């Protein structure tokens, strides 16, 4: 069972942003790889602390975690986002500023070159309602910047491969030494040595790559998913950026989505309403047969449990709400008109709703409760 994020950082649920950051820095410095070389347990605690901080430092993610716990981030289809799959490069590229000076290696501190991260790519993926309900694997072609074959790099002469340059300043308190990112190599410690003619000034080329994306069931329009390391490369000893996948939902012809519930308008004739009938309707996973009792009223809502969209957090599925509408013909022939004229004086056709029949507003209230 996964350890509670608050317990990992040693804080309470009421901790504010400053307390969360302070607790993470304390934990990260305690388990930092530079202080615990070769210690696998310390490395694991270091990653756990980073994972906890990534969630608790983000107000939206924190609120989701407080409500649902670890399940809020389960079933994400293997996408990144820091939950359970963080590596050292991710941690130092995202949170390196928290550590301050004093640590080298890994690119997180002030004593060595840092690994640059390539830019992210962003694409839209269109999904129909069936794909959203069942989850789907999509293969998309993306144009990525990658290092050209044959590119070589050499040690930056400005910083001698350290990624930083030291400056000494005379102050009233004496000579002060400070470090800043090398302006020549941008902190990587390397500069371009040789490149082929088809590469750009940084030794990069653009290539098409087919990326397989596993999209979990229950995603919503506008949701963003991250595929780690499928964005652009950066020059030298860098970390690839990420591919950001934006979900675009294709509207269904008959079904209307409302969160995890689906709505279906079923139109029946007056005769069908009087006599009762079985009907096949379109559900998200094929046809579903429903039986309408004799004398069913227009406005009746039939709820089909579990026939909606699965919860992306793994809390079951929504329902399919079938709205019954009795269709009134606009034109009648002579015989039909005579029949209904006789019905005007027939007590059996006089509206007489039962007390148990709910009003339209009560039905709407029940639907949203």
| Digit-coded pLDDT (tens) for 161-171 | 888 888 887 76
CA gap 57, 194 in Å, rounded: 42
Q: Quick one: pLDDT band at residue 337, thresholds 50, 70, 90?
A: very high
CA dihedral (229, 233, 237, 242) positive or negative: negative
| Phi, psi angle pair for 345, to nearest 5° | -100, 5
Residue 95 has pLDDT above 60, yes or no: no
Q: Is 73 helix (H, G, I), strand (E, B) or coil?
A: helix
For residue range 38-93, what is the model confidence (pLDDT) as tens digits?
788 888 888 898 888 988 988 888 888 888 787 766 544 333 444 445 655 556 55
Provide the pairing of β-strand 243-249 with 121-127: parallel
Tell me the C-alpha distance between 239 and 206, whole Å: 17
pTM of the model: 0.62
CA–CA distance, 236 with 233 (Å, rounded to integer): 9
pLDDT confidence band for 332 (50 / 70 / 90): very high
- Find all residues with CB under 8 Å of 347, minimum gap 6, and list them: none
Instruction: Give the burial string for 219-236 (b: 16+ CB within 10 Å, else e).
Output: beeeeebbbbbbbbbbbb
């Amino acid at each position: 069972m996964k350890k509670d994020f608050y317990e990992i950082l040693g804080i309470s649920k009421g901790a504010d942003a400053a307390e969360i950051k302070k607790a993470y820095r304390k934990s990260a410095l305690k388990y930092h790889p530079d202080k615990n070389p070769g210690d696998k347990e310390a490395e694991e605690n270091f990653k756990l602390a980073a994972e906890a901080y990534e969630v608790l430092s983000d107000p939206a993610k924190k609120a989701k975690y407080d409500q649902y716990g670890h399940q809020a981030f389960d079933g994400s289809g293997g996408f990144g986002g820091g939950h359970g799959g963080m590596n050292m490069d991710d941690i130092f590229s995202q949170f390196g500023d928290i550590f301050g000076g004093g640590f080298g290696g890994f690119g997180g501190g002030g004593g060595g070159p840092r690994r640059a991260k390539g830019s992210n790519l962003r694409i839209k993926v269109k999904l129909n309602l069936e794909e959203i309900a069942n989850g789907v694997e999509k293969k998309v072609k993306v144009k990525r910047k990658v290092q050209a074959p044959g590119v070589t790099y050499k040690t930056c002469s400005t910083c001698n491969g350290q990624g930083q340059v030291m400056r000494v300043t005379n102050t009233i308190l004496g000579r002060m030494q400070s470090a800043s990112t090398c302006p020549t190599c941008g902190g990587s410690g390397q500069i371009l040595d040789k490149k082929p003619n088809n590469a750009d000034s940084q030794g990069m080329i653009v290539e098409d790559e087919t990326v397989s994306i596993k999209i979990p069931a229950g995603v919503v329009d506008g949701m963003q998913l991250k595929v780690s390391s499928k964005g652009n490369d950066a020059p030298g000893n860098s970390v690839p950026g990420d591919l950001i996948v934006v979900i675009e939902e294709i509207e269904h012809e008959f079904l209307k989505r409302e969160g995890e519930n689906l709505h279906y308008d079923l139109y029946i004739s007056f005769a069908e309403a009087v006599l009762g009938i079985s009907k096949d309707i379109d559900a998200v996973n094929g046809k579903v047969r429903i039986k309408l009792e004799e004398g069913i009223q227009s406005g009746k809502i039939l709820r089909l449990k579990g026939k909606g969209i699965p919860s992306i957090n793994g809390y079951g599925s929504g329902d399919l709400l079938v709205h019954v509408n009795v269709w009134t013909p606009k034109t009648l022939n002579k015989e039909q008109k005579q029949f209904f004229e006789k019905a005007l004086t027939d007590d059996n056709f006089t509206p007489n709703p039962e007390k148990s029949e709910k009003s339209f507003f009560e039905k709407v209230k029940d639907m949203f409760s």
